[in-house]
Amino acid sequence: MLKSLLKIIPARFRKSSPLIHVVRLDGPIVAERGLRPTLSGKGLEPVLTKAFRKGIAGVALAINCPGGSPVQSAIIARRIRELAAEHKVPVYAFCEDVAASGGYWLACVADEIYADENSIVGSIGVISMGFGFPEAIKKLGVERRVHTAGDNKSQLDPFQPEKPEEVARLEGLLSEMHESFKAMVRERRAGKLKGEEKELFSGLYWRGEKAQALGLTDGVGHLNDVLRRKFGEKVQIKVISAASGWGLRRIGMANPSDLPEAALDALERRAWWSRFGL
């Protein structure tokens, strides 16, 4: 009899199953470059605006990110919080292999954070990486010629020996950025952090179980399992992605002139992941 009544009742009056939209945040966080999509404010805008809407039960962020630009991290995080407030939608973060540095920054935008017991979580710090070639350029017999208007325009030139005052200024900038990162974590994890700040904000990272003990996450669990536990077995989980374009990119081909840049991009991405042994 119940089935018969359900057939009579119009679909719009039936109680629908909870719907969760999933946004994948994969790879390092870098500004938009060329035609290749990146984990950036600009690159994610179409996906985020599509994911957030009234009537859904929540948005889940599936995060696998080793970090990247603090500016892009902040832009993405702010946009997610704006959309969550606008549509009154809760946000859940699920850390996969890595949610470190900027990846953990993104996790902190969520109302609740979960990770696998072996996820890498944390690395609340700021880093500047580079190389120096002052001796190599001498051995090659190359003369470095740099002309500037402004005494500090060529600071930290990789072909010149480091100057203490320039290193001190860079460390000051990194420290200020670190303070911004720490302030965001304190705000978003207010009342949940259990470890000493000296350790939590040292740049260290931990397995998922330890991260939960330190208050960096809210539990150990996977996206599907946690969402079913929260919303019931009939919860609908839908991955939201940007609309695909046409042309060579759609069928996996690239302009030959893009290949050198693509190779460098692959090396850069490999360097980000290798910091965590992956």
Burial of 265 (0-12, 13-18, 19+ CB in 10 A): middle
Active site residues: 101, 153
Which residue in 40, 83, 39, 38 sits closest to 59, CA to CA? 83
Give me 268's structure tokens: 């850069």
Backbone angles phi, psi at 165, to 5 degrees: -70, -30
Helix locations, 35-132, DSSP H: 41-51, 70-87, 102-107
Bridge partners, residue 53, by sequence = none
Query: C-alpha 74: how far from its chain's center?
Result: 10
Burial 90-103 (b: 16+ CB within 10 A, else e): ebbbbbbbbbbbbb
Rg of the chain over Cα atoms, rounded to whole angstroms, equals 23
